Structure 1
């Protein structure tokens, strides 16, 4: 017989999202999720206890039925199982339906119970929690610093090889439209550069992520990156803001147009390129 497990509907009020997942210990699972998505509404979340095989089937069914409510978030712990908060009501209706029709033998319960911590263990628990937060903060600081190290290395390459590269950039409304003409366009390299500008910050007061590269598109030999100037983001984390101010000093030394160019590189409109691709696929 299967060991018991839980299917849960966890609500994250700050993000206005719900996660549909499974766990043997919901509270332990919450501790890892809240680092990405904030505090859980324990009182208004739901759980249902079932054998593991049935939990898996019910979870997959709900993911399928709630597909139109998916958030589209593409990173973070359990991001594929996140739905807009409006998915809660239909999720409950689907679960009640399978219960009423004897597909499963269980009851949906509201509320996620927190484990009771004895007074003698509470101090040690707080110490472990603070140490874990401290370790995570230091690891995060190192990771963000390494990201800016890679950004600076990229800027230095552009500075020292500017006479051998065909590039051009314009700044529109605090956004850099950087184009480079290269016959060896590498999708993997493009994604690697985009990830340089995606930052996840975690410390004692703040947890969240921001992506300053809103997209990359290419046409022919031209690849264009759309990057927001971090110095214009008044909500940027102080660590990111400081490191960005140093990187932008390097960027400001880079001429806006390569001396190799005989004519301007056109600004690419990503929306129009996407429409052209879809149109050509439709004709094929």
Structure 2
């Protein structure tokens, strides 16, 4: 039996063909809340939330394992094809792998939309300090805060620093709002670390026979997003801003416009 609790209803009403959004490295489906509000009110949207994020399941550090589970969930929730998938960052890589898996048994994928997602390659994980820096940098980017406050925290940290020690220092530095304390940071770090490991140990081995729509941030390097090497056709749109700012303001409005243009009504 598929774990349907992994599928979060972001908007359950409407007659259009549903859009399924795949979580980024944080594991949360709610990164897409702003996009949902900008889409037509009759557009159903569901988001995949990762095992181990706000639930008792163990985290998963294998991208193929996550992808296979999400395809099982998707096919139980919507048995027939015409699937519309969207994913930001790691979510884009997951959505790509899911689309390949869906096509293999003859299912149809109507749309595959990647948002500022880099083509992955296998690489060794950074040190614990490096992973922690990425984790906190991701939180800072999502919260639209200045990353400068992290520099003093990391200045004297060892490469093998204990996460709890660093998070206590972050809490003392008051970089984040009061509700984001050391305990919450430690809780959120566990799925983030597992998903980073999943991404850095994965490469695309099967090309995708359909069209990929890629919405790239202008500040992201085009060389890191070479989906044309593993896809039949790539349609790319460039959004003003960086990996995080494209989810706000005018960039989000433009992003949602492109998504609306490419979605299938029925």
Q: Which has the larger Rg? A: 1
Indicate the structure whose relative CO is greater, using CA pairs within 8 Å and at least 6 residues apart.
Answer: 2
TM-score, length of structure 1 as denominator length = 0.23
With structure 2 as the length reference, what TM-score do the two structures score? 0.24
